[in-house]
Chains A and B, each alone.
Chain A
Amino acid sequence: MLENSPSPLPERAIYGFVLFLGSQFGFFLYCLWAFVPEDWLNSIGLTYWPQKYWALAMPIYLLVAITVCFILLFGVNMSNTAPLDSVDNITDVYAQGQSTESCRNGGIPRLKDVSISEVNKMFYLSPSM
């Protein structure tokens, strides 16, 4: 049976190094395209490349998009939070569907969800607190 563990393996080290070299080489090519004047590129024969405007615009667009995504993620989380008058704050489908059989004598009681009324009685009405 295959083991699925996150520990380092020789294959994973090779993949990582190949990705590292590839990304460094890609960055070198990008810098090359951004800095070499258009005439030199045209004289070699490379005419159909994007405008140099995009050498600056694309990183800026990317950074702004990442920043907006952080803020948007926070907003999406907040809007998905259940409001105070929703039943999801009290119970859910799994808690309502749990079996209510009584535990066998002498055994450990079955793990189950305690209802909010019982929890409140224990916290606020019992004299121990």
Chain B
Amino acid sequence: MEDEAFTDICGKPISLDCQSHSSFCREFIISSPKVSMGKVMVYTCSVWLLAYAVFFFTQNTAVLSGAILVTLVGMMLHIHFVKVDHESLLVIGSLGIQVSSSYASGREITTFIEMSKIKDIVINEAIYMHQIIYYLCVLLKDPSEPDAVSSVVPLFQSSKPRLNCLVKVYKSCQEILSKCQ
């Protein structure tokens, strides 16, 4: 298990954890930084100060209770649906790969792709908003047409690591895929 100083495309630090369970089974976990208490305090205080300013001019107490409700519900929705804690890629030779992402509230979304559908795992460059980024993706093939790429599943979408991290994961995956495909 190694932990070098990797960052994502915006410059925020992330950490990569490579675990080798056996000669044909490896797991890669990329963790994003946790929700910082400072940011939470800043957002909450600014929203509540704004609500108090509105209350000061309108003398309507519903504004205050509305602001409290909005901050609470907003924070709960954010940690349940938006904030990804870690994403993991589990490669099991000749069986398949499992992609899972877990959110800050504990919710986990898992997808399993069997090996007969996988053509390759590659690092591709594509235009994303205003920049060109490297991203790791799984090329899927139709079993009836083994030479054509039927669809693409991008990996590590929330953490978006940079090329040095992707190359490590890619080399490790290719060792398994070249043996067991």
**Residues in chain A within 8 A of chain B (CB atoms):** 78, 81-82, 84-87, 89-91, 96, 116-117, 120-121, 123-125
A89 in contact with B124 (CB, 8 Å): yes
CB contacts (< 8 Å) of A89 on chain B: these are: 124, 126, 152
A120 contacts B123, CB within 8 Å? yes
Could you pull out 17 A-B pairs where Cβ atoms are within 8 angstroms?
Answer: A78-B129, A84-B137, A84-B152, A85-B137, A85-B153, A85-B154, A87-B150, A89-B124, A117-B119, A120-B120, A120-B122, A120-B123, A120-B170, A121-B174, A123-B123, A124-B170, A125-B171
B149 is an interface residue with CB less than 8 A from chain A: yes
Instruction: Tell me the nearest residue of chain A to B147, going by C-beta.
Output: A96
A91 and B145 CA atoms in complex are apart in Å by 15
Known: A90-B124, A90-B139. A96 touches B174 (CB 8 A): no
Minimum distance in angstroms from A101 CB to a CB of chain B: 15
Is the pair B151, A124 in contact by a Cβ cutoff of 8 Å? no
With a cutoff of 8 Å between Cβ atoms, the chain A residues found around residue B157 in the complex are: 84
A43 and B137 CA atoms in complex are apart in Å by: 77
Given known pairs A116-B122, A117-B122, A120-B170, the reply for A90 and B149 (CB within 8 Å) is yes
Q: How far is the CA of A78 from the CA of B152 in the complex (A)?
A: 20
Report the minimal beta-carbon distance from A89 to chain B, rounded to whole angstroms: 4
B171 with A116: CB separation less than 8 A: no
Q: How far is the CB of A64 from chain B (nearest CB, A)?
A: 25
- B119 CB contacts on chain A under 8 angstroms: 117
Whether the pair B154, A84 counts as a contact (CB closer than 8 A) is yes
Is B149's CB under 8 angstroms from A91's CB?
yes
Mask, B90-127, CB within 8 Å of A = 1, is: 00000000000000000000000000000110111011
User: Chain B contacts of A116 at CB under 8 A?
Assistant: 120, 122, 124, 139
Please give the distance in Å from B103's CB to the nearest CB on chain A. 20
Q: Note all chain A residues with C-beta closer than 8 A to B135.
A: 84
Chain A residues with Cβ below 8 Å from B152 are 84-87, 89-90
* Cα of A90 to Cα of B154 in the assembled complex, Å: 12
Q: How far is the CA of A86 from the CA of B149 in the complex (A)?
A: 11
In the complex, chain B residues whose CB is within 8 Å of the CB of A90? 124, 137, 139, 149, 152
Other-chain residue from B127, B151, B170 in contact with A81 (beta carbon distance below 8 A): B127
Q: Taking the complex as formed, is B148 at the interface, i.e. its CB lies under 8 A from any CB of chain A?
A: yes
